[in-house]
Structures are given as C-alpha cells and as structure tokens.
Structure 1
C-alpha cells in the first residue's frame, strides 16, 4: 500500500458518490496527505504537501488505518472513538464523508 494506490482507491470511491461539496484533507503523517476537493465537479483528489491546504475538515490517521477505512474493514466511528482517527474542522463534513465511504 502506497500513497498513490490509496489516492486511486479514494478516487474510485468518490466516483460512485454524489458531490461532496467540501474540501477534505487526509493527513497521513510522515507518509504525506491527500486532498479531496469536492467543491468542483468532477472532484479533484490528489497528494498535497499539507502546508497551504485550506480544508473544511482534516482527518488525521495512519496510512494503514486509511487503507482499512477505504476497504471497509475499519468503521469510521469506531476509528474515531478508539483514537485511530482524529478530526479537526467540521465534524458534520466528516460524518457525511463517513457515510459516503461506508457505501
């Protein structure tokens, strides 16, 4: 699993969902970060240096947990409750995203 492969997996998930309408940054620590710009159609999803990214919500988690989240083997609510996922910014956007990824 790499940042590029997870970016492609996220793009696949975004393609089967309605527009998000928000910008979300997935902060994967030393591995880097991915930005989902759902304010444009089609959504722009790609790596980011994280320095100048304006996002409505930032989700911080490990690369491994992000892979599990995208594959459906890690429940977003459980990840948040156990500290595997940290949210800053709008929790409403995070909840909308969790519903989209859970499909």
Structure 2
C-alpha cells in the first residue's frame, strides 16, 4: 500500500465507520483506490465491487477533505466523477467533508 493510500485510509476510516451502507470506492487518479464501508476504510483495487465510485485527482480529494472544495461543485464542474447511486455519493461526500 502506498503512503498516500495509507493516509486516506487513516483519515477516512474513523469518518466512515458506522455511517455508510454498502461500499463506496474512491479512485484517486494515478495513485489507487480506497474502499469505504460501515467497517471503515481499507485499500482497494480498481475492480473492487462498490455501490458508488467517486473518482478525482489527489488534489481534488484533498481540497474536499480540507473543506476548500465543495464536493457537489466539484462534481458539477467535472473535477469529481461519480458512477452509481447518486444518493450514496451524497452520503460519501458527507463523510469526506466530515459533516
């Protein structure tokens, strides 16, 4: 596991625990994937099953995590790609922003 993915897992694990049903996959461009579930966060693979997939660059995900970028605005401007259930994507955005 790369240090960058380990950092995402450590940051998002506590935020995701008990807050999401099913699985969400974050695809961090050129770095790998993180799977979020009710159990927390873990390193993922690009083919891991998920109800929703969010894809963006590391810079965009970091901006969302810090609160500098609104995830809905990122999606509407094409910085954040969403595949799958949009309602679950909104739940994941709450986890990413810590709200």
Which TM-score tier does this pair reach, normalised by the shorter chain? Answer: 0.7 to 0.9
Q: 1:46 to 1:98 in 2, by over 3 A?
A: same
CA distance in 2, matches of 1:75, 1:34: 20
CA distance in 1, matches of 2:50, 2:81: 15
Q: How far apart are residue 68 of structure 1 and its match?
A: 1.5
Structure 2: gaps spanning 5 or more residues: none
| Residues 72-87 of structure 1: pairs in structure 2 closer than 5 A | 72-87=67-82
Report what 2:53 is aligned to.
Answer: 58
Q: Secondary structure at the match of 1:2?
A: helix
Q: How many pairs align?
A: 96
Q: How far apart are residue 70 of structure 1 and its match?
A: 1.4
CA distance in 1, matches of 2:37, 2:54: 14
Q: Secondary structure at the match of 1:45?
A: strand
CA distance in 2, matches of 1:62, 1:7: 16
